């Protein structure tokens, strides 16, 4: 006599209402919802220059880039590669690819030429956006158009040329279409591309900043420090995209320098500071901390590796009014980190 074992499914539900996740929306549409209401608000601040871009300007420029990509032959479903530090052009390029229905893969600018070539060819990138200082690293790439955001070598494109076209680049984007292609080695082996869909990233962002009890507590009056590199999924997802969804202001810092970072927090009244343990250590040991007003920070969270108790206690003493949190390092395939505040 056969014994049939019935499996019982146990579902544990929060007492809070379910989060509405508009999985039918393309990523860029979701991030820029309610644009008429927030269009004039500052979206990006370029730290080196102080230039400020409104939400309306960022969305409009991303659409222009999408049209420029179409003009340069980038089709829906194809890949562009971004080899840039944190800067407005990184954001315009990523969002422009989303509008075009293309995929964006980003690489560390400090990669060797061989590492860049490997990712470019493995992802089958059609176009690469970078800056002139990295020209020697990319000049030998074959069958890939090169676009430069600053001084442009002869016979290549300048980024401004991507923003000139006024044609139509709208495409029919499906929820399962891939929009981001970060590369990660995971726990072992060589780096591999991880396909993140529009639906997947919208769901990830909604879990972090939407609903009655959002995990990250961002709001439209926040200024979020973006010093962690955007080619890493944590910064791309939980800093940039979540910040855009919350209609916060995102302060783009291309590289870490402790005194510059403290000065920028002081100048722009940064309220959210996502960092990593080496930056926490540099802040805690800085002899110049007293020269800057850092009281605007209401959330300081560290990710990538655990903080020791001694460092936690030091942070509490230096930022008594801030919520301090640790974020487990997310993998590209599961990019919804949960902050643990202490």
Q: How far apart are CA 86 and CA 251, in angstroms?
A: 10
Judging by beta carbons within 10 Å of its beta carbon (0-12, 13-18, 19+), is residue 79 exposed, middle or buried?
buried
pLDDT band at 5 (very low <50, low <70, confident <90, very high): low
Q: Answer yes or no: is pLDDT of 2 > 80.
A: no
Report whether 294 contacts 201 (CB < 8 A): no
pLDDT confidence of residue 327: 77
- Section 77-92 average pLDDT: 98
- Looking at the chain, the whole-number percentage of residues with pLDDT higher than 70 is 93
CB 277 within 8 A of CB 284: no
Tokens of 36: 């008429």
pLDDT at 11: 83
pLDDT of residue 67: 96
Interval 144-164 mean pLDDT: 95
pLDDT at 335 over 90: no
Contact in structure between 242 and 209 (CB atoms under 8 Å) = yes
Q: Are 95 and 28 in contact (CB under 8 A)?
A: yes
137: left (phi over 0), alpha (psi -120 to 50) or beta: alpha
Q: Give the list of residues 6+ apart from residue 80 with CB closer than 8 angstroms, or none.
A: 69, 74, 93, 97, 102, 103, 104, 105, 125, 126, 127, 128, 129
Structure tokens at 4: 């049939």
Given this model, what pLDDT does residue 331 score?
56
- pLDDT confidence of 8, banded at 50, 70, 90? confident
Look at residue 216 and tell me whether its pLDDT is greater than 90: no
Residue 16 pairs in a beta bridge with: none
What is residue 339's predicted lDDT score, i.e. its pLDDT?
A: 52
Q: Using pLDDT thresholds of 50, 70 and 90, give the confidence band for residue 169.
A: confident
Query: pLDDT higher for 315 or 147?
Result: 147
Strand pairing category for 178-180 and 196-197: antiparallel
Exposed / middle / buried, residue 169 (Cβ in 10 Å: 0-12, 13-18, 19+): buried
Residues, the chain, total?
342
Q: Give residue 211's pLDDT band: very low, low, confident or very high (50, 70, 90).
A: confident
pLDDT confidence of residue 139? 95
Residue 183: pLDDT above 70?
Answer: yes
Sort 191 into a burial class: Cβ within 10 Å, 0-12 / 13-18 / 19+.
Answer: middle
H helix intervals, the chain: 27-31, 35-38, 55-71, 88-100, 113-122, 135-138, 159-162, 198-209, 233-234, 242-246, 258-268, 277-285, 309-318
Say what the pLDDT of residue 332 is: 60
**Tens of pLDDT, residues 279-300:** 999 999 999 999 999 999 999 9
Q: Where are the alpha helices (DSSP H) in 32-158?
A: 35-38, 55-71, 88-100, 113-122, 135-138
For 220-255, what is each residue's pLDDT tens digit? 999 999 999 999 999 999 999 999 999 999 999 999
Q: State yes or no: pLDDT of 316 exceeds 90.
A: no
Q: What is the pLDDT of residue 188?
A: 72
**pTM score > 0.85 for this model?**
yes
Residue 187 has pLDDT above 70, yes or no: no
User: Quick one: CA torsion of 8, 9, 13, 18, rounded to 10 degrees?
Assistant: -140
pLDDT > 80? residue 202: yes
């Amino acid at each position: 006599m056969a014994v049939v074992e019935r499996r019982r499914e146990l579902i544990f539900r929060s007492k809070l209402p379910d989060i509405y996740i508009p999985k039918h929306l393309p990523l860029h549409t979701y991030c820029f919802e309610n644009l008429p209401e927030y269009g004039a608000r500052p979206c990006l601040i370029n730290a080196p220059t102080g230039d400020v871009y409104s939400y309306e300007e960022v969305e409009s420029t991303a659409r222009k880039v999408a049209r420029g990509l179409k003009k340069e032959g980038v089709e829906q479903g194809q890949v562009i590669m971004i080899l840039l530090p944190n800067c407005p052009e990184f954001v315009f390029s990523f969002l422009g690819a989303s509008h075009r229905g293309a995929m964006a893969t980003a690489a560390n600018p400090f990669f060797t030429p061989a590492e860049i070539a490997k990712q470019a060819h493995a992802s089958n990138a059609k176009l690469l956006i970078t800056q002139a200082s990295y020209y020697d690293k990319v000049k030998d790439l074959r069958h890939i158009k090169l676009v430069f955001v600053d001084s442009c070598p002869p016979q290549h494109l300048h980024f401004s040329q991507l923003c000139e076209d006024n044609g139509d680049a709208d495409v029919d984007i499906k929820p399962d279409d891939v929009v981001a292609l970060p590369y990660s080695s995971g726990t072992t082996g060589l780096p591999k591309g991880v396909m993140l869909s529009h639906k997947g990233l919208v769901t990830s962002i909604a879990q972090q900043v939407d609903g009655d009890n959002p995990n990250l507590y961002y709001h439209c009056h926040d200024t979020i420090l973006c010093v962690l590199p955007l080619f890493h999924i944590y910064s791309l997802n939980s800093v940039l995209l979540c910040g855009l969804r919350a209609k916060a202001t995102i302060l783009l810092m291309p590289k870490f320098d402790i005194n510059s970072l403290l000065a920028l927090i002081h100048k722009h009244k940064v309220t959210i500071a996502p960092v990593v343990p080496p930056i926490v250590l540099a802040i805690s040991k800085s002899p110049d901390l007293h020269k800057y007003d850092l009281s605007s920070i209401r959330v300081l969270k560290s990710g990538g590796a655990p903080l020791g108790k001694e460092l936690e206690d030091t942070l509490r003493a230096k930022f008594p009014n801030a919520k301090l949190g640790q974020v487990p390092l997310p993998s590209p395939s599961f990019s919804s980190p949960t902050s643990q505040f202490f």
